[in-house]
């Protein structure tokens, strides 16, 4: 109930670190599980306090995801599970290493995407689900819909994600859209960071065809190899008590600079209904502007953490509530 109300809320409490500490205390049992990790990492703070990349400066966990290591392509070729995949998939997994994403064309059949579109519409009309404060995102639909849950926990997709992470992939959060997000370029890691770094992965599922007009997803191939940008790298405006009011805008300005400095090339994902894009924790991506007002762009994004890693929200400086 409280978290549903907070999803709609845009006032000053959203910028107060104390609001998150209260929320942390309300989930004490879940967060207590982090105590052993804090000890291992030498973090001298309560598991209910704000936390961010700053706490790990100079003491990052040494584990690096296997596909982020310099010899990743070679390791992939030598891996027995990789060798057992069909050549079409092997090519896609290689692309994940070099470009930070891969596309599974026509993964979900039309009947299933049509059913999910109808289900989202029904739940919105009946008030059983709603957009959050952005007016575009419906968070965690699988909690209300068995059908959405089947997309979220699709066994084949989960097996690919676990293979790419090198550890079991655990569903963390999902968002459904009926309109394009028009979000500026960003990496998911500013919102969902892991320690060790890089143990997040996402799927983007097209529930209808995307065109240049309906605000398609875009991404920058190869950007996942750049250093993670954290609140330490731009003027977040954070203080001991508050999250900077303009942190997100300043972050996006910083990412625009990174894109220009590295001469990254933008690509649009003109997906067909049923296609799935899998992206790396640090791939820069966003939503293109909607060129024809009122046109829909139905999609579902799912984020997964690797089992056994510590997860937190860098922009809002709080531990993630994993199950």
Ligand X SMILES: O=C(O)CCC(=O)C(=O)O
**Rule CB under 6 A: which residues touch ligand X?**
175, 177, 180-181, 183, 188, 217, 285-287, 299, 301
Please state the closest distance from residue 253 (CB atom) to ligand X, in A: 17
Nearest to 49 by CA among 21, 14, 13: 21
Closer of 34 and 230 to ligand X (Cβ): 230
Please state the closest distance from residue 59 (CB atom) to ligand X, in A: 28
Please state the closest distance from residue 178 (CB atom) to ligand X, in A: 11
Distances (CA, A) of 304 to 110, 250, 255, 275, 322: 24, 26, 23, 18, 10
Q: What angle do CA 210, 269, 89 make, to 5 degrees?
A: 115
Please state the closest distance from residue 57 (CB atom) to ligand X, in A: 25
User: Strand, coil or helix: what is 109?
Assistant: coil
Full strand arrangement of the beta sheet holding 169-177: 101-104, 276-280, 200-206, 299-306, 169-177, 137-139
Q: Kindly tell me the sign of the dihedral angle through the C-alpha atoms of 126, 132, 136, 139.
A: negative
Closer of 166 and 215 to ligand X (Cβ): 215
Closer of 12 and 133 to ligand X (Cβ): 133
**Number of C-beta neighbours around residue 308 at 10 A:** 12
Q: What angle do CA 152, 157, 161 make, to 5 degrees?
A: 105
d(CA 81, CA 30): 33
Minimal CB distance residue for ligand X: 287
Closer of 226 and 301 to ligand X (Cβ): 301
Please state the closest distance from residue 219 (CB atom) to ligand X, in A: 9
Please state the closest distance from residue 258 (CB atom) to ligand X, in A: 16
């Amino acid at each position: 109930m409280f978290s549903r109300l907070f999803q709609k809320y845009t006032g000053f409490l959203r910028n107060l670190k104390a609001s998150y500490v209260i929320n942390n205390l309300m989930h004490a049992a879940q967060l207590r599980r982090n105590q052993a990790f804090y000890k291992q990492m030498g973090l001298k703070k309560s598991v209910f306090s704000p936390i961010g990349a700053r706490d790990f400066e100079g003491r990052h966990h040494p584990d690096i995801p296997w596909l982020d290591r310099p010899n990743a392509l070679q390791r992939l070729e030598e891996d027995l599970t990789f060798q057992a995949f069909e050549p079409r998939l092997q090519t896609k997994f290689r692309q994940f290493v070099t470009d930070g994403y891969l596309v599974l064309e026509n993964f979900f059949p039309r009947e299933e995407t049509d059913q999910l579109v109808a289900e989202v519409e029904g739940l919105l009309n009946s008030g059983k689900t709603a957009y959050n404060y952005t007016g575009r995102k419906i968070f965690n639909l699988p909690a209300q819909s068995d059908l959405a849950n089947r997309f979220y926990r699709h066994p084949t997709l989960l097996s690919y994600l676990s293979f790419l992470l090198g550890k079991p992939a655990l569903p963390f959060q999902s968002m459904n859209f009926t309109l394009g997000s028009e979000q500026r370029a960003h990496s998911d890691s500013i919102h969902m960071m892991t320690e060790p770094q890089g143990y997040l992965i996402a799927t983007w599922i097209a529930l209808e065809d995307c065109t240049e007009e309906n605000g398609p997803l875009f991404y920058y191939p190869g950007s996942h190899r750049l250093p993670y940008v954290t609140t330490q790298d731009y003027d977040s405006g954070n203080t001991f008590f508050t999250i900077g009011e303009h942190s997100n805008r300043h972050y996006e300005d910083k990412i625009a600079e990174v894109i220009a400095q590295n001469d990254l090339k933008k690509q649009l994902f003109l997906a067909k209904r049923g296609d799935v894009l899998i992206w790396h924790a640090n791939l820069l991506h966003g939503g293109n502007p909607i060129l024809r007002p009122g046109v829909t762009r139905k999609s579902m994004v799912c984020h997964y953490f690797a089992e056994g890693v510590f997860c937190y929200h860098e922009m809002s400086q709080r531990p993630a509530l994993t199950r």
